[in-house]
Amino acid sequence: MYPLKFQPVFQRRLWGGQKLRTVLGRPIPGDWQRAAIGESWELADLPAGTVKGESTGAAADGSLSSVIANGPWAGKTLHDVLQNAESGIQKSDGGYYPLLIKFLDAAQDLSVQVHPDEAYCRNHPGAHLKSEAWYILHAEPGAKIYKGVKAGVTKEAFRAALQTGQVAPLLNAIPVRAGDCHYLPSGTVHALGAGLLVAEVQTPSDTTFRVFDWNRLTADGKPRTLHVEEALACIQFAPLAEERLTGTGAAGATRVAECAHFTIDRVETSRNVQRALAPQMAVWIVLRGQGVINVESHMPTAFARGDTLLLPAGMKGAMVKTVADAAWLEVNVPLK
């Protein structure tokens, strides 16, 4: 086992931009450099029927699994590797990788949307639970997110606002800046505001119910498809629970998000630091700096800002050495 990198899957979105290249420094293929790139799927392993029609990169059956870009397993999909009992990568009960990792670039406001919870999914087999966290990588002045409805807003009041196009006054608008992290449990109506670049950690689902799109039209002059009834059946019309981080990160780490599905710690370290890595599986989303991970019997794996790495459990003699001041998000899945 060794640290895995993956080929990103870019998604064109009406609201996307080019911040993956201009802010994060990611290499973008020439035919994408004028595209409105809204999403980069960094780490995905989605079963058949999961990926919706507006998302690209899926197989004919609606499945999508990230392709490994480095080392002996290069060219294989993550799902291929998961079939190896000694891969060191934790699987869900269904046999898939239990998270989906993305970068999102919001050049415009995203639609107001909601994702289904467990109760809704039990009664609607085509829907898949989605809870997520946004870590703000870059925020332009005045940028904000919309998160949940204001106190006292009812389903009836929200439906009436949809008819008049006056939805924003019913939503909690929260100013954000780089380094903020927001957890969005399923059932939370939300929207990412313009001027934001974020790392998104979520449960593996592509089920999104758009309830309002700012009265916006597509390039062909038509309104985007909305899912009003599905969304109203999922939105939690109650005050959001206060976020309490009861866990603590490892030494040198700060816990920024925690839920039943994942934890996210921000790790910061100085240049020329060398230390052994913990033996459990983790995902690193590199925020700044650079370094190298050495594992017995494998070539070194270099990392730099904008990289996403999957570190399998049980890598032999795994050591990280930084060559510049560095920071990364470490994402962990609770052990079964």
* pLDDT for 206: 82
**Nearest alpha carbon to residue 42 among 89, 9, 15, 77:** 9
Q: What single DSSP character describes residue 187?
A: T
The per-residue pLDDT for 251 is 61
Which residue carries 């940028």 as its tokens?
Answer: 143
Instruction: Write the CATH number for 298.
Output: 2.60.120.10
pLDDT of residue 198: 98
Residue 246 lies in a domain: no
pLDDT of residue 216: 85
pLDDT in the model for residue 224: 85
pLDDT digits (tens, 9 = 90+) for 211-230: 999 988 777 888 888 999 99
Bigger pLDDT: 118 vs 290: 290
**Reported confidence tier of residue 281, pLDDT bands at 50, 70, 90:** very high
Q: Indicate whether 250 pLDDT > 70.
A: no
Q: Which of 12, 13, 34, 210 is catalytic?
A: 210
- Asked if residue 225 is part of any domain, the answer here is yes
Q: What is the pLDDT of residue 249?
A: 59
Position 299 in a domain: yes
pLDDT band at 303 (very low <50, low <70, confident <90, very high): very high
207 band by pLDDT with thresholds 50, 70 and 90: confident
The predicted structure's pLDDT at residue 128: 85
On whether residue 45 sits in a domain, the answer given is yes
Q: Is residue 77 part of a domain?
A: yes
Catalytic annotation on 210?
A: yes
Q: Which residues pair with 311 in a beta bridge?
A: 282
Residues 63, 150: one domain?
yes
Q: Which of 178-182, 245-249, 255-259, 290-294 is predicted least confidently?
A: 245-249
Which residue, 178, 199, 234, sits at the end of a domain?
234
**Terminus-to-terminus CA distance in the chain, angstroms?**
21
Same domain, yes or no: 37 and 177:
yes
Kindly state whether residues 197 and 124 are assigned to the same domain. yes
Q: CA-CA distance, 290 to 304, in Å (whole number)?
A: 4
In terms of domains, do 156 and 60 share one?
A: yes
Query: Do 145 and 179 sit in the same domain of this protein?
Result: yes
Please provide the average confidence, as pLDDT, over all residues in the chain: 92
Please indicate, yes or no, whether residues 69 and 215 belong to a single structural domain of this protein: yes
Considering the chain, what percentage of its residues have pLDDT values greater than 90? 76
Q: How confident is the model at residue 336 (pLDDT cuts 50, 70, 90)?
A: low
Q: Give the residue numbers spanning the domain of 280.
A: 253-332
Q: Helix or strand or coil: residue 104? A: strand
pLDDT in tens, 21-39: 999 999 999 889 889 999 9
Write down which residue in 207, 234, 261 finishes a domain: 234
Residues 298 and 229 reside in one and the same domain = no
The pLDDT of residue 246 is above 60: no
- pLDDT of 72 above 90: yes
pLDDT at 244: 65
Report the distance separating Cα 151 and Cα 170, nearest Å. 9
Clarify whether residues 205 and 280 are in a common domain. Answer: no
- Give mean pLDDT, residues 197-222: 88
Q: What residues contact 263, with CB distance under 8 A and at least 6 apart?
A: 247, 255, 257, 331, 332, 334
- Nearest-Å Rg of the Cα atoms of the chain is 20
Total count of domains within the chain: 2
Note the pLDDT of residue 299: 94
* Co-location of 155 and 192 in the same domain: yes
| CB atoms inside a 10 Å sphere around CB 189 | 28
| pLDDT over 70 percentage in the chain | 97
Does 161 share its domain with 119? yes
Q: What span, in angstroms and rounded, lies between the C-alpha atoms of 185 and 224?
A: 24
